[in-house]
Structure 1
Amino acid sequence: MLTTGFKLWFGLCVLMVVAAVFAGYTTGGTETGPISLGWKGGVGNHVVYTLLMLGAASMAVMGIVSQAFRDSEPEAAIELLGVDEVPEAQSTIGNSWWPVFAALGLSIVAVGLVVHAAVFVVGIIIVVAIGFEWTMTNWSEKASSDPELNSELRERLMRPIEIPLIGALGIGVIVLAVSRILLSSSALGAVWVATVVGVIIFGTAFYISKRPSISRGLIQSILFVGIAGILIAGVISAVIGERDFHHKGPHHDEKSHMDEKE
């Protein structure tokens, strides 16, 4: 029997596929290109079509996960945790940073529509990743009335996915944001920015390493605030644009002299 969550995600998947096909046909796609994923012809606007299809694939994955865990039914949780019975579901949940990052991702998407396609793609990636994390966090927090059991449940499900996938995506996004910051600064300013950021990161890591009693929640908050600051600065720098680069060298000088003679 299909769960309610699966029906929701499957409906969103179908909607995004239809939107992708419609966008393909209205932006120059051939007769069979949009419905064959580009195998039998063009798909029109590649960026729009690809992003919508990636969104549809993400919705499909969410639907499969929802169906696999039966929308957090007690029987599924009992089988996964290996216990005799699951405590009663709780009504209160903790604070979460995911809404903040979701809003930041949507802001990056909006800026990317105006500034550059790469920024738009980064925003889409952030929104999809945050949506998945947010969904799994909400599911785990309401799985039972025992917070420790809920935390263990989420750790066992998400750590094998978060560490390699989210880590790789996070590094790529941060590298892109930092590159925008450095390219929008002057030559001397870029050196100072890199130095100050490096000192802050090293100092924070050193301080945390010397304070083993610091709570995990505080460390996560520090990391989230730092990442959010870098992303916001990267978006602002992308809007400002790159600085002007003046090429110097013998070839450049020879070309300048030839232009003067002409």
Structure 2
Amino acid sequence: MFTTGSKLFIGATTLAVVGALIFGITQSDSKLGTIGLVSAAIALVFLMGINFWVRDSNVSPTDTAALTTAPASHEAPPRSMWPMVAALGVALIPVGLVVGRAITWMAVIVILVATVEWMVQSWSERASADSAYNASIRKRIMHPLELPVLGALGLGLIIFSFSRIMLRLPAAAGAIAFGAVASIVLLFGSLLAAKRTVGRSVVGTLCTIGAVGIIGFGVTSAIAGGREIVKHEIPSFAEGTCGTEHGEADHNASRAIALKSNLAATIVLQNGTLHADVIGVIGAKTTITLGRSTNSYIRFVNLDDDKHRLVADLGVDEVNINGTATKVPQQSCTQAVGKDGAQFLVLRPTRPSFSSTTPFTLSVPGVDSTITIEVP
């Protein structure tokens, strides 16, 4: 005798098979529809076999033991959100493959977490007939893992929200806002300490409102973007600030440098003339030798009265930009410093000096004196 569920599955399977045959015969150009109907028929046959085996999970009236062993005699397990979370993780995987690897890894983590939580919950629900005892077992196993992780994620989210808010606010208002928030937290803690009869629900509600507000403002600030931060000016040939003129970057230039070891040379400007002092070489030189494809540290010392800067010219390189060979000067410079001031310059030649049509030099704008650089 067929049960009600078996009859429904038999009918559905028959319809799927007949539909696949009719569609496959009449629509010879569309293979995708036939494959779909055949797949549905196979799935229905599988479900029909399971239903035949369990016979709709019906219990025979003559089976007295089923009064205590049948699934219907037990309390139904509570609903679980973890299948939905796992499905969300699976749905994020193709999104991550298109958008970026970070979303894919996030989806994998979500699936793993949902799988572990679901397994532990299913096991604990069948540990005994007492639902309260089962819940306590789950808490004993999972809370040592869940609470630290959730606390770290919540704290990280609040810190990230604070950072977005502070980047959005003007520089002057940032310190005021941070001080105001700290004062509110201190006042809230003082009130709780003075009046200890406040219920947990009130404290939890106020903390939740504060956290949600901070996160909300942080998300809004992240979407709106940070405030405009003025770029710090540095001497650059591309911006035309390596000449004799002095810009904003030169007004407060440091007159001393900390790094004085491992110097390739010290370039000194004195009485309108440049000379190089090289460790281990006696006397002032007008030519220095630098290594190729390695950093060389140059110290510039100005002993003249006016402000001056040291300029390095390492020839012209051809760079492929959008399929077009473009000549790009390899030049750099220091900030301008006054008398007895020192600046630091790092050079990294990428090719020998004899391969360039112009010599590699160190010079000072407005001074008719140069130091020749030789790169083997």
In the other structure, the counterpart of 2:195 is: 211
* Inter-CA distance 161–22: structure 2 relative to 1 (3 Å threshold): closer
Instruction: In structure 1, give the amino acid aligned to 2:241.
Output: M
In the other structure, the counterpart of 1:114 is: none
Q: Which runs of 5+ in 2 are unaligned?
A: 1-70, 246-376
* Inter-CA distance 259–241: structure 2 relative to 1 (3 Å threshold): farther
1:244 maps to 2:299: no
Q: Give SS of 2:107's match.
A: helix
In the other structure, the counterpart of 1:69 is: 124
| Structure 1 vs Structure 2 CA RMSD | 3.7
Q: Which has the larger radius of gyration?
A: 2
Pairing partner for 1:58 from 95, 101, 113: 113
* 1:55-85 superposed Cα distances (whole Å, 9 cap, x missing partner): 211220221122122179643534776xxxx
Q: Is the 8 A contact 2:89 2:108 kept in 1?
A: yes
Q: Is the 8 A contact 1:6 1:66 kept in 2?
A: no
In the other structure, the counterpart of 1:230 is: 214
Instruction: In structure 1, give the amino acid aligned to 2:110.
Output: G
Matches of 1:11 and 1:199, distance apart in 2: 42
* 1:147-189 superposed Cα distances (whole Å, 9 cap, x missing partner): xxxxxx8976775345422221111110000000000011001
Q: Is the 8 A contact 1:6 1:63 kept in 2?
A: no
Q: Give SS of 1:181's match.
A: helix
Matches of 1:9 and 1:207, distance apart in 2: 40
* Inter-CA distance 72–5: structure 2 relative to 1 (3 Å threshold): farther
In the other structure, the counterpart of 2:101 is: 46
Q: Return the TM-score normalized by structure 1.
A: 0.52
The sequence identity of aligned pairs, in percent, is 22
Q: Give SS of 2:229's match.
A: coil
Matches of 1:243 and 1:11, distance apart in 2: 39
Q: Is the 8 A contact 1:20 1:48 kept in 2?
A: yes
Following TM superposition, by how much is the alpha carbon of 1:4 offset from its aligned partner in structure 2, in angstroms?
A: 6.2
* Inter-CA distance 154–200: structure 2 relative to 1 (3 Å threshold): farther
1:221 maps to 2:205: yes
* Inter-CA distance 225–261: structure 2 relative to 1 (3 Å threshold): same
Q: Is the 8 A contact 1:180 1:238 kept in 2?
A: yes
Q: Which has the higher strand share?
A: 2
1:200 maps to 2:255: no
The within-5 A match list for 1:162-201 is: 163-201=147-185
Q: Is the 8 A contact 1:6 1:64 kept in 2?
A: no
Matches of 2:158 and 2:81, distance apart in 1: 32
Q: Which runs of 5+ in 1 are unaligned?
A: 28-43, 82-152
Following TM superposition, by how much is the alpha carbon of 1:195 offset from its aligned partner in structure 2, in angstroms?
A: 1.0
Matches of 2:190 and 2:135, distance apart in 1: 38
* Inter-CA distance 52–5: structure 2 relative to 1 (3 Å threshold): farther
Matches of 1:162 and 1:6, distance apart in 2: 19
Instruction: In structure 2, give the amino acid aligned to 1:172.
Output: G
* Inter-CA distance 218–154: structure 2 relative to 1 (3 Å threshold): farther
Pairing partner for 1:258 from 241, 248, 251: 241
Instruction: In structure 2, give the amino acid aligned to 1:194.
Output: F
Matches of 2:203 and 2:163, distance apart in 1: 25
Matches of 1:16 and 1:7, distance apart in 2: 14
Which one scores higher on RCO, CA 8 angstroms, separation ≥ 6?
Answer: 1
Following TM superposition, by how much is the alpha carbon of 1:237 offset from its aligned partner in structure 2, in angstroms?
A: 0.8
Q: Is the 8 A contact 1:5 1:71 kept in 2?
A: no
Matches of 2:127 and 2:185, distance apart in 1: 39
* 1:120-158 superposed Cα distances (whole Å, 9 cap, x missing partner): xxxxxxxxxxxxxxxxxxxxxxxxxxxxxxxxx897677
User: Number of matched residues?
Assistant: 169
Following TM superposition, by how much is the alpha carbon of 1:17 offset from its aligned partner in structure 2, in angstroms?
A: 6.4
